[in-house]
Every structure is written in structure tokens, then in C-alpha cells.
Chains A and B, each alone.
Chain A
Amino acid sequence: MVALAAAPTASAETMPQRVVSMNVCTDQLAMLLAADGQLISVSSLARDADYSMLAEDAAAYPINYGRAEEIHQLSPDLVLAGTFTTRSTVAMLRRLGIHVEEFAPETSLDDIRSNLQRMGSLLGREDEAAELVAAFDTRLAGLGSDRSDLDVAIYEPDSYALGPGTLAHAVVEAAGLTNVADALGVTGMGRVPLEVMVMQAPDILVTTDDGDGVRVRAEENFAHPAFRRVAATSRTLSLPGPHWVCGGPFTLDAIELLQNAAADIADGRP
């Protein structure tokens, strides 16, 4: 909230005309909110379906690779960066007198609301942001908040699981479920060896498997016979990477999918 209060706001007359985003999360917020022609470039990852939920929309924007030189060439009046964007690049852009605003990645539903509002005020699109947040809250309220005693694990390649401090954990909580990683003491993204996951045998197993087979050795854990056996007895959902990278209105899709899976188990549906 401090960041929100301190953020400079742009009125309709002074709204930035040449906005460049160089982070996959700010790319998506900006694409949702910017006026026609206001956003002149998004990062290359915005078009990558491994990271971005709005990869198709991003095809309409020229892309950048987040290098200070090419950003400067675009003569932007506002640059949107993530707090994980290379420090040296951000520092150089600021030295060149470019207005850079940094966004921390969303790790809770509140972060999604406040980042949407902040993006709205930076772009001079407060009304649009307020509408998006209102629609977000309406849909969230419609999803209900029943707690169930089912547990869920969100399992990534190379046997990493997502725990408290990640957006995925916030999604699990919002869906009224218990995160196995939390019970195992994982914070953030932590390794849960396959044998520990097998012994836990979660009710719902969410994998980030993109379903294109083992294209990188780290994905071999999804093909492991022991994992397959556990997956066969758990309710298994595949929600690829982009669901967990950045927050946005689409985060509610993940909550809804988890709730549906839990309801299917509760009602004994196959």
C-alpha cells in the first residue's frame, strides 16, 4: 500500500504516450489496461506461452529483449520493469533520465489488486483498473470460500513444489485447500524429493507439465513410474507454468479449476 500511495499518478492529460514494458508480469498487466497505441513494446517473454497467459495478445506488440540500449532507442516516457529485472539495466535507464517503475511479482490476491490499481494510475487508466478489480472481486466472491480437508501439491519439473510465499500457495488457500508443501515446511519454491511426495500421496496433484513429453531432463520426474502411480490414485490437474508466474484476472481460473477438482472428489465423481 505504501508503494501505491507513493506512486506518481497520471491524469488524462499527462498520461504516458510511449510505454515500454520489459517484464513478463508488467507486460500482462499493461496489455490488460493500456489504451490503444499507448503500449509500444512488451518483453519477448510476453509472447512465450511457457511464461505468459496472454501470449496470443502479445503478438500484436513489438517485442524487446530488456537491454538498456534498445529500450533507450524507443524513447519511452515510462518503462515498466520487474523487481527481478537486472539491476544494472534499470540503473542505466534511470541514469539516462528515463522514468522507470518497478513491480514486485504478485504472491497474493491482494498483490494482484494493488498491482492492477497501480498500473492503472501509472497509465492514467484508473477507471479501467477499478473495473477490472471489481470484476475480479465479483468473480472471486462467486467462487465461494468453503474449506475442505483435501490436500494439494503443486509439483514442478525437477521435483520442486510451490509453498507459502508463492502465488500458487495463495491460489490453494483461496480454493479452500491445504498445501502439502506447507505441511512439509517448504517456503517459496522448494525441493520435495519424489519419495517424499509418494509417501504424502496428495488428494490433488497439480503438475506444471506442459504435456509435450520430456523435452528437458528436469521433466523426467513427471514420467517416473512412481510418480505415475501416485498420479493415477490422486486427482491430477495440469496447469502449466504461466498460471504460477504472474498474477492477474486469469489467476481466478486456477482457483476455479482447483475447486472443481475438490468438488469432484467430494461428490465421488470420476
Chain B
Amino acid sequence: MRRAAGTKVLLGGLSLLVLMLFFLSLLTGPADLSPVDSLRVLVSPDESALTLVMWEIRLPRALLGLMIGASLGLSGAVLQGYLRNPLAEPGLLGVSASASLGAVIAIHSGLAAAFALSLPLMALLGALASVLALHLFAGRTGSALTVILAGVALSSLAGAMTSLVLNLSSNPFAALEIVFWMLGSLADRSMVHVYLAAPFMLAGGALLAGLGRMLDTLTLGPDTAASMGTSMRRLGVLATFGTALSVGAAAAVAGAIGFVGLIVPHLLRPLVGSQPSRLLPASALGGACLLLAADVAVRLIAPERDLKLGVLTAAIGAPFFLWLVIKHRRSAA
């Protein structure tokens, strides 16, 4: 009971933090705007340039930060529970990179210009292919090491293919794009991107959020879970599609942003008593907090440089990953 109350406090606190960071994101940017006027035009839009900036540039950026962060946090928590592997994460497993590859193919084949929905759909396809490939190579019974190794191979392959497509493009700007797709950015995104990605992220999020109970039973072991009525096949299908939908849509509009799905569940797990059904909503909120904060930080550190989001998340995430590896080795020894 006390734990349930504690979880409520945690979720309430995280929601409040998300809200604060959302507004901070709206008020941060390279143009020097008055916070009071900025908020005023959000409530009552007029014909000014300020309205244009707030509604068409900053609002989509903050919304995407919120939704992408939540998608990454949630899918990280589900993958860690489902693969029963503390190192599972859409970035490390190559899901984000494969989704990026799908998006790059959609744009450079001209498909996205002819049919806008092909962008998230191709990214979704890329993400789906990578999760299926992971199943094929590492399986659910595979050790943590096998899963991670397969993920590393898939990441490298998707990254190389993305670079290949961009290298072969005749467009002079294509080669510079590799950085965007590998590291991710929310700079100068529009409401068009929100409309394209949101339905997929919401659908994927809904699938993933409903997996809490099944993942709870899985913590007792696959056999016990099966005896308690959890269908492993059903869980696998839902986790796979949910991750592909939400991570695919995220990568289609913002590139591959790593480590968010790794860090957030680990930080929050001790606070929810390692119970997946409580960890999932907390991770979604935590992911949104982390990504919004990182996106505010890239704009404060180098306002004119379009510092890539992935640079910041990797700078925090990679040392964290190493720490996890050391911890994992100790507990295994």
C-alpha cells in the first residue's frame, strides 16, 4: 500500500517536472523573445511574427520533445522487461538506427515528397525489421551478451546503409545529413512533423503501456508467467509492434536519439520497487523530462550551432552504460 502511494507521489512529481520543462522548452530559443509576450500569443494568437515563432516553431519542438522522450523511455522500460536484459534500449539495439535508415530511404527516393505518410511508414518498417532481426539472431532466450552483440551489429549495419544512401545522393547537402540521422535533433521541426509522428507514437505508446501486468508476471520467470496466463507470443508481438511504432515515428522526424531508453528506466526502477507495471508510466514521464531537458540544454550551450541532441544524451548515457556493464559483471561473477 505504501509503495502504491509512493508511486503516485513519484508520478505526480514527474508530471509536474514534465510540465515545467515543457514551458521552459517553449521559452528557450535563439531569438531573444520576451517570456510574457511569448506566453500571451500562445493563449491569444495574433498576426505577429512572434505568434508564428511560438506556434509553428517552438510549440512543435516542445511537443516532439515530450512525445519522443516519452516513447523512448517507455519502449526502453518494456524492452528491458521483455528481453529481461538490463542493457536493452532502442538506441543500443539498433531499432532507432534502422528506423532512421527507413526514413532516409523514404526521403532520398523521393517517396516522402510524393506521399508524406511514407516517411513514418518507412521508418516504422525499418524499426520493425530490426526488432524481428533481433528475435531471429538472439531470441528471447539469448543471453544479455547475445542480444547486445546482435544490437551492435544491427546498429552498425543500419548506420552504414544510411551513410551509403546519403553518400550516393547527388544532393550537395546529403553528406552532412549523416550527422542528423545518427545523433538526432529537434531544430526547426514543424507541426507537420507532429501530425505525421503523433498518431504512430500514441498508438505505439498505448500498446506498450498495456503490457505492465504481463511484464510483472514475467519477472517471476517465463514458466511461472505462462502458468499465470501470460501468453509469451502475445507479449512478444505487442512489445515488438509497440516499440516499432513509437520508436519508428520518433526517428522519422528527429533521427536516432540514443541512451534515453537506457538511463531512464534504470534511474526510476529503484523508486518503483522494480515492478514493471509501475515502471512503465514512470519511465514515459522520465523520458519526456530527460529529452525536454536535453533539448533545452543544447539550445543554451550553443544557440547558433544546432548542437545535436544525441551528442548530449550520449555524453551522459555512455558513461552510464559503462557503469552498468561493470555492475552487471560484478553481479555475474
| A residues adjacent to B (C-beta < 8 A) | 48, 50-51, 157-159, 190-196, 198-199, 201, 213-221, 223-226, 229-230, 241
Beyond the given A215-B171, A217-B181, please list 18 additional residue pairs across the A-B interface where CB-CB is below 8 A.
Answer: A50-B170, A51-B172, A158-B306, A159-B187, A191-B305, A195-B29, A195-B57, A196-B30, A196-B31, A215-B110, A215-B169, A217-B180, A218-B174, A220-B188, A220-B190, A223-B192, A226-B56, A230-B49
C-alpha gap A194/B174 in the complex (Å): 20
A251 to chain B, nearest CB (A): 19
Interface string of B127-144 (1 = CB under 8 A from A): 000000000000000000
Assuming the A-B contacts A48-B170, A158-B173, A216-B171, are A198 and B108 also in contact, with contact meaning beta carbons closer than 8 angstroms in the complex? Answer: no
Give the size category of B's interface with A.
35 or more
Write out the residue numbers on chain A whose beta carbons fall within 8 Å of the beta carbon of B57. 194-195, 198, 224, 226
Cβ contacts A to B, 8 pairs, < 8 Å:
A48-B170, A158-B176, A193-B187, A193-B188, A198-B49, A198-B52, A199-B33, A217-B104
C-alpha gap A159/B53 in the complex (Å): 15
Write out the residue numbers on chain B whose beta carbons fall within 8 Å of the beta carbon of A214. 107, 112-113
Interface string of B17-60 (1 = CB under 8 A from A): 00000000000011101000000000000000110110011100
C-alpha gap A213/B49 in the complex (Å): 25
Cβ of B177 within 8 Å of any chain A Cβ, yes or no, is yes
6 tightest CB-CB pairs across the interface, nearest first? A226-B56, A213-B113, A218-B173, A216-B171, A194-B188, A193-B30
Cβ of B191 within 8 Å of any chain A Cβ, yes or no, is yes
C-alpha gap A196/B50 in the complex (Å): 10
Write out the residue numbers on chain A whose beta carbons fall within 8 Å of the beta carbon of B223. none
C-alpha gap A229/B306 in the complex (Å): 23
Assuming the A-B contacts A191-B305, A191-B306, are A218 and B177 also in contact, with contact meaning beta carbons closer than 8 angstroms in the complex? Answer: yes
Write out the residue numbers on chain B whose beta carbons fall within 8 Å of the beta carbon of A201. 49
Decide if B176 touches A218 in the complex (CB within 8 Å).
Answer: yes
Assuming the A-B contacts A193-B30, A224-B190, are A216 and B177 also in contact, with contact meaning beta carbons closer than 8 angstroms in the complex? Answer: yes
Write out the residue numbers on chain B whose beta carbons fall within 8 Å of the beta carbon of A190. 304
Write out the residue numbers on chain A whose beta carbons fall within 8 Å of the beta carbon of B29. 193, 195
Interface string of B272-313 (1 = CB under 8 A from A): 000000000000000000000000000000011110000000
A242 to chain B, nearest CB (A): 10
Residue of B nearest to A197 (CB): B31
Q: In the complex, which of the residues A195, A215, A223 has the most CB atoms of chain B within 10 Å of its own CB atom? A: A195
Write out the residue numbers on chain A whose beta carbons fall within 8 Å of the beta carbon of B303. 193
Decide if B53 touches A216 in the complex (CB within 8 Å).
Answer: no
Interface string of B100-115 (1 = CB under 8 A from A): 0000100110101100
Decide if A193 touches B31 in the complex (CB within 8 Å).
Answer: yes
A77 to chain B, nearest CB (A): 32
Q: Which one of B30, B169, B187, B305 lies within 8 Å of A216 (CB-CB)?
A: B169
Write out the residue numbers on chain B whose beta carbons fall within 8 Å of the beta carbon of A195. 29-31, 53, 57-58, 188
Write out the residue numbers on chain B whose beta carbons fall within 8 Å of the beta carbon of A213. 110, 113
A40 to chain B, nearest CB (A): 25
Write out the residue numbers on chain B whose beta carbons fall within 8 Å of the beta carbon of A51. 172
Write out the residue numbers on chain B whose beta carbons fall within 8 Å of the beta carbon of A194. 57, 188
Residue of B nearest to A199 (CB): B31
C-alpha gap A218/B175 in the complex (Å): 10
Decide if A224 touches B56 in the complex (CB within 8 Å).
Answer: yes
C-alpha gap A220/B53 in the complex (Å): 16
Residue of A nearest to B174 (CB): A216
Q: In the complex, which of the residues B30, B53, B176, B188 has the most CB atoms of chain A within 10 Å of its own CB atom? A: B188
Write out the residue numbers on chain A whose beta carbons fall within 8 Å of the beta carbon of B171. 50, 215-216
Assuming the A-B contacts A214-B112, A215-B113, are A199 and B172 also in contact, with contact meaning beta carbons closer than 8 angstroms in the complex? Answer: no
